[in-house]
Structure 1
Amino acid sequence: MTGNRLRQRPPKATHFLPHVQGLRAIAVMLVVLYHVWPGRLSGGYIGVDIFFVISGFLITGQLARELDRTGRIALPSFWAKRARRLLPAAITVLVFCSLAVLFLLPLSSLVSEAREILASTFYVENWQLAFSSVDYLASHDATTVQHYWSLSLEEQFYIVWPLLLLGATWLGVRFFAAKRWLPMVGVVVAVSVASLAASILYTASNPAEAYFVTWTRFWEFGAGAILALLPKLRPRGAWWPNLIGYAGLAMILGAGWFFNRDTPFPGYTALLPVIGTAMVITTDRAKHWWDVGSVLGGPPQRFVGDISYSLYLWHWPLIIIAPYIPGWGLSGLNRVALIVVCFLLAWLTKKYIEDPVRTWKFFTVRKPRITYAGVIGLMAVSSLVIGAAWVVNHPRYEAAAAELQQIRENPPECFGALAGPDCQNPELAGAIIPSPGFGNADSPGHTECFVQLNESAVKSCHFGSSSPDAPRIALIGDSHAYQYIETLIALADQRGWSLTTYLKGACPWTTAPVSGPSPAFTASCTAWRANLADELASVPGYDVVFTAALAHTPYTVSAANRDAALRDGFVDAWKQAAGAAIVTIVDNPDFEEDPNKCLRNAPASSCTEPRASVLDAVDPLALAGAEGGATVLDFTDKYCDETVCFSVIGGANVYRDQDHLTRTFALTLGSAIGDAIESQLP
């Protein structure tokens, strides 16, 4: 855009301020330590927000100086410089992750890894994660590239922000001749305020999606941009800079220490680290060793800040891949070694990839379109490598699925839950079916029958016999009821039942109040249960209802009479079934971590958990069954002996994640569940 220059004093150059490099070091170390030791620094995720503020400050300052100097922004050159700075290292790590999919990661990860590597290649990973976050049945095991959500958001900022500033500059030239900088500041403030409001509202209603979407984060960039456009906000004097700077550091470190997974974020709580970062940025005083600028600008801090981008890129894939490397894992010593490896790779990437490509004259002295051709080439390389991994592994994926289906249809003798002291099959010794590499993919089908997190409309699905004389069976509950859907469908087909399902994620069939990830979910669960009660009252009565629920669902009941309140909640809900017999089941153990990770590198005998740590002391469904006259199935002694609970039983892999059963193992419970239901039929 051409025109007269802005009549304002442009911000001074800020790209290499030592204290900003020190802030980058703090940001990346918060994130790395949070991911390497999740329980030690529960709010370390706020490091990403520090990066956003810094980016807003630096990029806006750069663009404002160009506007003041030339009256325009050379968009092609700006975007080309950003691409040369960021893409080579990012694509390098994506190619590494694709090779890990091909050679190291479990086969079950193929679909999610391929999808997210492609999304990261084209910088839309934040939207990919936002869309999948509302799907309760989606695999929420982190992929090697999940951290690219923040890089995707930054790239979107780099595209949109210059256009926004250009538009504001045009307004200044056209309507504010005397104070042409006012529209730019006004637009940045307006966009930031609107984004903050959206962040607060959306975090309250849908926190999982709000964490990733673009418009809930733009205000963080805007906070840095305002500092760049209004340099008079920076403190002056001998002691004001340090007072404000150290207060900002305290806010950042306090958020990193005290925030946790339950903190509503980004929303209003993100104001603490964002404002703290802005306060530190305003402080560049470094005349004495105790000044904030000196503390943040030392050589070690500058070194970490200098490699922070590559360090961020490398740390997460290594964390995800480490458990799948034989003999490695994530013991305390190995975590320290992993950090050392991350630093080494980051330094090598900075020295031999980031810096050379950024300054390579082949690109810098030619028109931006040459850089864009290089961008297309790099993205093509990333797409081709993950495409090759897909071509090689997908036939294996399909073969594993077909083999597993055959085993389900013709299971070996004494397989899974059918094994016991009087039923042993020597051929299954050492067997793990499905394999640990495919266990995560062994989930139920019929996802159309499952109501998602914030939805409240009742979905009913019908299976089995359509005869009006067939026994009427219902399956009702949360995801721990849904894990039995294939078992109940098979029983309905075998025994001539008419089966109807009513299922909603994280929402058990009870009148006890349930909490959840957001007020919107809590409201949807309450509404769904009310709609379910109306549905049950409007249809012909069922003969038997089979129900299950996660034992440690977060209920909002008084601790003083918790067991009684939870028991009564289930009993009251069961009365909605209009006299149907109730068959329920004690919940399965909940492992601390997905046992498939352990089973990949260790024998099943080593992949157990202490019984006391994975079983709830009291399952409210068992209490409700005794009070409400229900038939209660308890397979605890099948899952566990007196001391430990198993991840493999009778050759069957029990879990598809840390607390949900594989479809294959759930099918082996069929005869016991079927007999219990049959015993209650009139």
Structure 2
Amino acid sequence: MHIDPDASGGRPGGGGARSTHPRRADIQGLRGIAVTAVVLYHVRVPGLSGGYVGVDVFFVVSGFLVAGNLLREHARAGRISLPRFWARRVSRLAPPALLVIAATTLAVAVWAPPLLWVPTLRDAVSSTIGVANIAFARRGTDYLSTDSPSVLQHFWSLGVEEQFYVALPIVMVVTLAIAGRRRLTAVVGVATAASFVLCLWLVTVSQPWAFFTLPSRAWELGVGALLACLGTRAALPAGWVSRAGGWLGLGGILTAVALFDETTVFPGAATLVPVVGTALVLAAGSPRAIAPTPAAATGPSASTATALLARRPLTAVGDASYPLYLWHWPLLIVSAAALGRDLRPLELVGACLLTVALSVGTHLTLERRGIPRLARWRPRTSVLGGVVASAGVVALSATVLSAPVLSTDRPVGDPTVAEVLAGPVATPFVPRDMTPTLADVDGSLPALYDGDCHVDYDVDVSPGCTFGAPGGATTALVGDSHAVQWFSPLAARATRLGDELVTHTKRSCPVVDLDVEHPLGTGDFTDCREWGADVLSRLQADPVDTVVISHAVSGYRDLVAETGDFDADWEAALARFIDALPETSRVIVVGDTPRWPDPPAVCVSAHLDDVGACALPTSALVDPGAEDADRAGALAAGASWQATTDWMCTDLCSPVVWNHLAYRDTNHLTDEFAMRLAPRLDALLD
């Protein structure tokens, strides 16, 4: 989320420049509600599961204010100065943002595990140059997930708005020059509608690209810009219509904050609730919409939502909303990273108090004193100063976050086949010859990910990729990404024996006939069931010698809603799938692997000489009910079932086994470790 401190009034202390436009105190109050909702959502306060919609409130407000300011400049001067506009954006938005980025990189270097240094440096660079949103979309980041969030993840919205601030003024200048203001309203309206349609489609195809990128988010800022273009025509009629509209809009925002959660399809049609709600509040607060009562001399009637939003406690929070938003997220994430666990209630309170202190300090010094002085600079000087300051922040980040030490100087050596078969041996330190290295853990993927063989969410037909040598015995690998874990050793075995390996795998999708919710919260995963049916028909039409099935069984516990008894549903569905396979096919079900609460590699990077500090009891990393259901379903259909936990864990599970980093994230093995376990698979298949 980005909180643009643009001119909601003429008081420089609020972060805006002097303006002839009357100050809208209700907008500052609206900002106060929005930033409070977001902060409390990130602090995990019960009852505010939809607090993330504060971003949508700010998008609408920012579009309204910026378009309104540009239109007033055009009416006053007969033109819009793009250099002056962009210089104002730089002078107002860059100083607090660069301060927080610099402070965050220093904090990460001092307190966070070294494995977070390189991704933080990467995100610091993308945030500084205004493309963090694109970087997060490319990585497939799930903003609503709590799984290893970036310490600068909240800068995605600055990217959206900064890109909007480049596009909108150009569109306005060109349209006003060619066709005038009336055509501008039509152009903004059409662009807003097109962006909304794109958003509805894209969220069903790629939620990260729909969530993070300007084309699918521009409609929210466009709604605000459209209100500004309509001017007094967008104001609600004075009297009861205005009062009702204001309360309805505010109620819509608060309803979304209370009722939306991580399962809401977002952004999508649901986003209309906070967006339309914000538009109604803005329209109700227009001077024309405020009835001429005796109180009008000092503000709107006390019975209106506008009056409530204009009260000092809310406007005070709104005045400092930009630094509040910038500071709160890094404080929460760096604190949790330093402690190696989620923050406890009192620690969350402490983080919030520190956020308030830093935000108030930033507001009183930088926003109220420093930024007004920068606003007097010539446009060229402002832009040049922003470029120099940005370069300085990037240089600082590169200096303090470069070359972290990620291993000891002691080697371990490769285990023999006999040692692998004898059982796992935890290494109490990070060996010099560990593979993959901590720096390379994210890229430790099987080759099946390189092409189109491991299909994505929206694919409902299996490509049936083949490896090895046609003509020999044929093995089919079937399942989700946890089946893909075993691709490399199975492919190597097929090549060695002159056999053939066929793969049927799909992202976050079990092959069994259960109705699965989409992992990204975009409704029923219909492509998954259709893909599973396609795989079964292929295995029936072209039988193979051996079918190897593996799933992240426990990961579907919250995504399957059949009878309400997941264990029984999984057992029955797996048995049905195996029973439907040709009798000539031998079926082996490979059990699931441990599931960690947090990526263990991060902890390992902070305990190079004491990896045991990162080990956890094996019983805490397995779902016994899901494991029993998987075993029972396989055995009921006459298949073999093999537990894998004891291949990598004893009573304790260690992230480092022999000279291997075992896990690349919370629930997938590294490719190198899976290859080391090849003798286990050979023994099972032989």
TM-score range, shorter chain: 0.7 to 0.9
Secondary structure of the residue aligned to 1:559 is: coil
Q: Which among 456, 473, 476 is matched to residue 474 of structure 1?
A: 476
Q: Which residue of 2 aligns with 1:630?
A: 639
Matching residue of 2:666: 658
- After superposition, give the CA deviation of every residue in 1:66-124 in whole Å (9 maximum; x if it has no partner): 11112210111011001111112212222233334544444444554343332222212
Counterparts in 2 of 1:577-616, with a 5 A limit? 579-594=584-599, 600=606, 604=612, 608=616, 611=619, 615=623
State which of 541, 544, 565 in structure 2 corresponds to 1:541.
544
Q: Residue 3 of structure 1 corresponds to which residue in structure 2? A: none
Q: Once the 2 structures are TM-superposed, how far is the Cα of residue 168 of structure 1 from its aligned partner?
A: 2.9
Q: Aligned-pair distance for 1:595? A: 5.1
Q: Using a 3 Å threshold, how does the CA distance of structure 1 residues 272 and 544 change in structure 2: closer, same or farther?
A: closer
Question: 2:237 aligned with 1:233, yes or no?
Answer: no
Structure 1 residue 418 corresponds to structure 2 residue 423? yes
The verdict on how the C-alpha distance between 1:623 and 1:265 changes in structure 2, with shifts beyond 3 A counting, is: same
Matched, 1:570 2:578: no
1:91-490 alignment, distance < 5 Å: 91-133=98-140, 141-173=148-180, 181-228=181-228, 229-237=230-238, 239-284=240-285, 286-287=299-300, 289-326=302-339, 330-360=343-373, 364-366=376-378, 368-389=379-400, 391-393=402-404, 396=405, 409-410=414-415, 418-419=423-424, 428=427, 441=442, 443-446=444-447, 447-448=449-450, 449-456=453-460, 458=462, 466=469, 468-469=471-472, 471-489=473-491
Residue number among 25, 30, 55 corresponding to 2:32 in the alignment = 25
Q: Any idea what SS the aligned residue of 1:37 has?
A: coil
CA deviations 1:39-73 (Å, max 9, x no partner) are 64211110000001110111111111111112210
Matched residue, 2:14: none
Shift of 1:158: 1.0
Please say if residues 108 and 440 of structure 1, whose CA atoms lie closer than 8 Å, have aligned partners that are also in contact. Answer: no
Distance 2:669 2:283 in 1: 53
Q: Which range is displaced more, 624-633 or 603-612?
A: 603-612
The structure-2 alpha-carbon separation of the partners of 1:236 and 1:456, relative to structure 1 and needing over 3 Å to count, comes to closer
Q: Does the Cα contact within 8 Å between 1:55 and 1:221 map onto a contact in 2?
A: yes
Code of the residue aligned with 1:219 in structure 2: it is W
Asked if structure 1 preserves the Cα contact closer than 8 Å seen for 2:471 and 2:499, the reply is no
Provide the identity percentage.
Answer: 29
Q: 1:197 to 1:328 in 2, by over 3 A?
A: closer
Select between 582-591 and 370-379 the one with higher mean Cα deviation.
Answer: 582-591
Quote the Cα distance in structure 2 between the aligned partners of 1:607 and 1:410: 20
Distance in 2 separating the partners of 1:412 and 1:386: 45
Question: How many Å apart are 1:666 and its aligned residue?
Answer: 4.4
Q: How far did 1:450 drift?
A: 2.9
For residue 632 of structure 1, give the secondary structure of its aligned residue in structure 2: strand
Q: Which runs of 5+ in 2 are unaligned?
A: 1-18, 291-298
Structure 2 distance, partners of 1:97, 1:628, is: 55
Superposed displacement of residue 257, structure 1: 0.6
TM-score (norm 2): 0.81
Q: Deviations over 1:315-371 (max 9, x none)?
A: 12222211222488511100111111112222222333344442225x6242x1222
Unaligned runs of 5+ residues in structure 1 are 1-11, 174-180
CA distance in 2, matches of 1:413, 1:631: 24
Pair 1:19–1:415, CA change in 2 (3 A): farther
1:391-429 per-position Cα deviation (integer Å, ceiling 9, x unaligned): 423xx46x78xx99x86844799789914xxxx78xx45
**Residues 515 and 526 in structure 2, CA contact (< 8 A), matched pair in contact too:** no
CA RMSD of aligned residues (A): 4.0
Structure 1 length-normalised TM:
0.81
**Distance (whole Å) between structure 1 residues aligned to residue 99 and residue 464 of structure 2:** 47
Cα separation, 2, equivalents of 1:467 and 1:234: 72
Report the equivalent of 1:674.
Answer: 682
Q: Do 1:73 and 1:166's aligned partners in 2 also have CA atoms closer than 8 Å?
A: yes
Q: CA deviation at 1:247?
A: 2.1
- The 3-state SS of whatever aligns with 2:151 is coil
Alignment of 1:485-496 (within 5 A): 485-489=487-491
Would the alpha carbon gap of residues 550 and 436 (structure 1) be closer, same or farther in structure 2, given more than 3 Å must change? Answer: farther
Moved more, 452-461 or 295-304: 452-461
Deviations 1:539-593 (A, max 9, x none): 6733453533433426666317865654454345444567321111232344444
* C-alpha distance in structure 1 between counterparts of 2:563 and 2:369, whole Å: 61
Letter in 2 for 1:628: A
Question: Contact (CA 8 Å) 2:515, 2:562: kept in 1 or not?
Answer: no
1:506 partner letter: S
CA shift in 2, pair 1:555/1:66, >3 Å: closer
Q: Does structure 1 retain, via aligned residues, the 8 Å contact 2:420–2:679?
A: no
CA distance in 1, matches of 2:150, 2:620: 31
Q: Which amino acid aligns with 2:584?
A: G
3-state SS of 2:284 partner: coil
| CA–CA distance in structure 1, aligned partners of residues 134 and 117 of structure 2 | 20
Which amino acid in 2 is paired with 1:45? Y
Shift of 1:159: 1.1
> Which 10-residue stretch deviates more, 275-284 or 432-441?
432-441
Aligned to 2:296: none
Preserved contact between residue 618 and residue 653 of structure 2 (Cα < 8 Å): no
AA in 1 matched with 2:589: T
Residues 676, 637 of structure 1: CA spacing in aligned structure 2 closer, same or farther, 3 A cutoff?
closer
Do the aligned residues in 1 keep the contact of 2:87 with 2:382 (CA within 8 Å)? yes
Partner Cα separation in structure 2 for residue 634 and residue 610 of structure 1:
13
Q: Which amino acid aligns with 1:311?
A: L
Between 596-605 and 315-324, the greater mean CA deviation after superposition: 596-605
Give the one of 489, 496, 502 matched to 2:504.
502
Q: Counterparts of 1:578 and 1:526 in 2: how far apart (Å)?
A: 23
**Structure 1 counterpart of 2:193, which letter?**
V
Inter-CA distance 341–541: structure 2 relative to 1 (3 Å threshold): same
Q: 1:511 to 1:202 in 2, by over 3 A?
A: same
